[in-house]
Amino acid sequence: MTQTNSIAQVTALLDPASIAIIGASDRNGSWAKRVYRTLKRGGYKGTIYPVNPRAETVWDGQTCYPDLASLPGKPDHVVVLVPGAGAIDAIRAAGKAGARSATVFSSGFGEGGDPEGRALGEQLRAAVQESGLAVSGPNCMGNLASPFGFCTIPDDRITDFSVGGVGLFGQSGGIVMAIYRAMKSRGMTPAYAITNGNEVGLTTADYIRYMVAEPNVKVICCFIEAIRDADDFLSACAEAFAAGKPIVAMKIGGSEASRAAALAHTGSLAGSLACFDAVTKPLGVLRVSTIDEMVECAEYLTHAQIPAGSRLGGITFSGGLKGLMLEGAERHDVSFPALTPETLSRLKEQLGVGTSLGNPLDAGFAALSSAEVYFKCIDIMLEDRNIDMLLVQEELPLMEGQNAKAGNLRTVDAMVVDGKRKPVAVVSMASYMYSDHTRAFRADFPHLPVLHEIDKALKAAAHVGRYGAMAKSAPTPRAPQKLSAATTALLALAAPAADGRKVMGEANSKQLLGAYGVAAPKETFARDAEAAALAADAIGYPVVLKLVSDDVQHKSDVGGVLIGLRSAQEVREGFARIATSLAAAKPGAHFGGVLVVQQVSGGTELVLGVHRDPEVGLVTMFGAGGVLLELVKDIAFGPVPLSQAQAQDMVDRTMAGRLLDGYRGGAKLDRAAVVNALVGLSHLAQDLGDGLESIDVNPLVATPDGALALDGLIVLKA
């Protein structure tokens, strides 16, 4: 969906002129009655129509209508609280009645993976498409849009409809409401809280686009169980990144158990978190693992500007806290760099010669006893060119008079209010509860994030610091290139596999990879033993013989690979051995001949690959190859396509990357050749696009003066 369509559709959902509630009931505890009560409590200004053929009046004598066709006016939005086929009929009726949007609370549309539920889900999807309605759900808990006084979430605890800077949505209503309450307890009020359920209509991408265009929203927070359309989702993430609006996402898919839970809850197969990170991190998505982590990130992003990087300064009143900060920095990939000599000199003037200076700065009693010294220390630290963000220790009071020095934060807030200085964040030793007094006190310094507990605070600092660094150096996207005539001809030679996919043979795969900069050893195809011997003479000994057969993908399993052949006679004999081994291992399999390949000795075996994740599409892979691939799984994932910097980062994230640099006195290998091969592989994957299933280059041997693909396999989609 385009940005314009997404915004119009979500607006129809969240800002309706009138609402019909199908399934209206006076029964105590009914969701219909609670939705009505929440709408009234939020100050909704439009008309509300109760609909139920078995009731004449509900809710203090309000007229109840038998169906949508009987309403005295056109319903703009329809709340569906009837199950199964009734919900499908309600969507069709809403379309005929002229409604623009609907929320389907009902479940039973395939969440458990049962065939009957899936069939109902497809019927509901078809009804939504036919009606043209903007639909949230099914299996959701309603939506909150404070700017419009609109709330269909049946939760009596929602009493504050002020407009904050968070746009919150997710596929689990329970998780969304838990995040909402956690944010409220910290003094944040999300402007939006949307529960999108199974997403038969509007999707995560639509909500992202809406939040990007919404001026009240500073940060987009979402809980994702499964992605419906990878291209649409990634396009929306790119739009958010370009607009400077961070997405903080919790994502299910980190374990087999969580993937099974996603299937049970949303009817979709979740992809792996490694693949999700590979494609979303370059688009500025900050993936968090817990609600607490999301709250800390949102707390920062709604109150402060994004820092230029992850270099931190710290001011504490405790040597122990200083130590915890330094240890935590190592865990979370942030740093407390050394202060410049100018900074140290100025701090010594303020704090005295006997003070132990460093970063974090333990300001001790000198700063505690003098507000003026405290403010000057902050000023000095903010001017240090080695620092991107400053953390200052403090804890907010639970009651009047509990912590007088916390009032200094009002002055600190004034120091950064214009956004021209580096950001400052407040950090506490431990997490703590807020009272009403705390929340009111906290509102006095809206430009200072108040982060809880040093580990959570440093995680948040790492997230926002990486975002700031990426925003400064985001690579220019490469556009897909039209396939050349030679590439198209090679693709046409792919042989059909039993599962309907098409497999390119090793020789053709390596030829295509070579066109994108992935070099291979010298090799020649030979149909008979004599041609193989002549090819070996031309290449030079020793050589490797490899079976060529459209019926075999794993050549070594059928005795189809021979190494270390050192004469023409050994090559002739080897040719015959491969033919005999194939006939014995797989009777009837086609024997096309052999590849005669230059044997490469030494170097380090690596693996390059492209994998199609079921959720996010194509991702690149790099790691230790050969037998180590399965043994140690030393691999890193990245997006398609890759920039040079992204490919370097993938290599840096592996132990194999350390081997390239001459680990423990070993020879330095050609890292540049490996990086170039990885980039070229990703460009090939991008150009093949939807037609590609996977690419495997295993092993790629890195040597001091190059990198060669000893094997390659390209698999095309059916």
Same domain, 239 and 105: yes
Q: Among 680, 623, 629, 631, which residue's Cα sits nearest to residue 653?
A: 623
d(CA 630, CA 368): 57
Burial, 174: exposed, middle or buried (Cβ in 10 Å; 0-12, 13-18, 19+)?
A: exposed
Query: What's the pLDDT at 356?
Result: 67
Query: What's the pLDDT at 267?
Result: 46
Q: Over pLDDT 90: what percentage of the chain?
A: 77
Q: Among 244, 252, 201, 259, which residue's Cα sits nearest to residue 222?
A: 252
Same domain, 289 and 408: no
> Which residue ranges in the chain fall short of pLDDT 70?
112, 254-271, 353-356, 364-369, 627-628, 630
**Is there a contact between 289 and 223 (Cβ–Cβ < 8 Å)?**
no
Pull the structure tokens for residue 455: 């580990």
Same domain, 515 and 530: no
Same domain, 515 and 567: no
User: Strands (DSSP E) along 443-517, which ranges?
Assistant: 450-451, 495-496, 502-504
358: domain CATH number is 3.40.50.261
- Other beta carbons within 10 angstroms of residue 326's beta carbon come to 15
3-state secondary structure 678-702: HHHHHHHHHHHHHHEEEEEEEEEEE
Q: What is the H or E stretch that residue 656 is in?
A: helix 655-660
Taking CA 334 as the corner, what is the angle to CA 329 and CA 336, rounded to the nearest 5 degrees? 75
Counted domains in the chain = 4
**Is there a contact between 281 and 274 (Cβ–Cβ < 8 Å)?**
no
Q: Among 647, 565, 642, which residue's Cα sits nearest to residue 606?
A: 647
Reported as a single tens digit per residue, the pLDDT across 613-652 is 888 999 999 999 876 676 778 899 999 999 999 999 999 9
**Is there a contact between 542 and 565 (Cβ–Cβ < 8 Å)?**
yes
d(CA 125, CA 329): 48
d(CA 262, CA 250): 13
**Is there a contact between 191 and 221 (Cβ–Cβ < 8 Å)?**
no
Q: Among 550, 551, 513, which residue's Cα sits nearest to residue 712?
A: 513
Same domain, 572 and 683: no
**Is there a contact between 143 and 136 (Cβ–Cβ < 8 Å)?**
yes
Pull the structure tokens for residue 225: 């169980």
Reported as a single tens digit per residue, the pLDDT across 529-553 is 999 999 999 999 999 999 999 888 7
User: Strands (DSSP E) along 514-634, which ranges?
Assistant: 523-526, 543-548, 561-565, 593-598, 604-613, 617-624
d(CA 92, CA 494): 46
Q: What's at 224, amino acid-wise?
A: I
Query: What's the pLDDT at 109?
Result: 85
d(CA 372, CA 425): 19
d(CA 442, CA 560): 72
Q: Point out the domain boundary residue: 281, 300, 319.
A: 300
Sheet holding 143-145, edge to edge: 150-151, 143-145, 192-195, 166-170, 219-224, 247-251, 285-288
**Is there a contact between 100 and 12 (Cβ–Cβ < 8 Å)?**
yes
Query: What's the pLDDT at 268?
Result: 47
591: domain CATH number is 3.30.1490.20
Q: Point out the domain boundary residue: 546, 581, 598.
A: 598
Query: What's the pLDDT at 111?
Result: 73
Query: What's the pLDDT at 349?
Result: 87
Q: Among 182, 184, 235, which residue's Cα sits nearest to residue 206?
A: 235
491: domain CATH number is 3.30.470.20
* CA 146 distance to own-chain centroid: 27
Task: Give strand pairing partners of 701.
Answer: 605, 708
Pull the structure tokens for residue 301: 């992003």
Rounded to the nearest 5°, which phi and psi values hold at 286? -100, 100
Q: Which domain holds residue 267?
A: 3-300
Task: Give strand pairing partners of 62.
Answer: 58
Pairing of strands 424-427, 450-451: parallel
Same domain, 149 and 7: yes
Same domain, 51 and 121: yes
d(CA 572, CA 172): 65
Q: Among 73, 91, 89, which residue's Cα sits nearest to residue 137?
A: 91
Same domain, 553 and 543: yes
Same domain, 126 and 216: yes
Rounded to the nearest 5°, which phi and psi values hold at 48? -115, 125
Q: Among 612, 603, 584, which residue's Cα sits nearest to residue 692?
A: 612
**Is there a contact between 142 and 152 (Cβ–Cβ < 8 Å)?**
yes
Q: Point out the domain boundary residue: 300, 328, 348.
A: 300
CA-to-CA separations, 194 to 61, 227, 350, 374, 408, in angstroms, rounded = 30, 16, 51, 43, 37
Query: What's the pLDDT at 279?
Result: 95
Same domain, 593 and 635: no
The most distant pair of C-alpha atoms in the chain lies apart, rounded to whole Å, by: 100
Query: What's the pLDDT at 557?
Result: 87
Same domain, 562 and 612: no
**Is there a contact between 658 and 665 (Cβ–Cβ < 8 Å)?**
no
Same domain, 146 and 46: yes
Taking CA 196 as the corner, what is the angle to CA 194 and CA 201, rounded to the nearest 5 degrees? 125
Query: What's the pLDDT at 254?
Result: 63
Q: What's at 111, amino acid-wise?
A: E
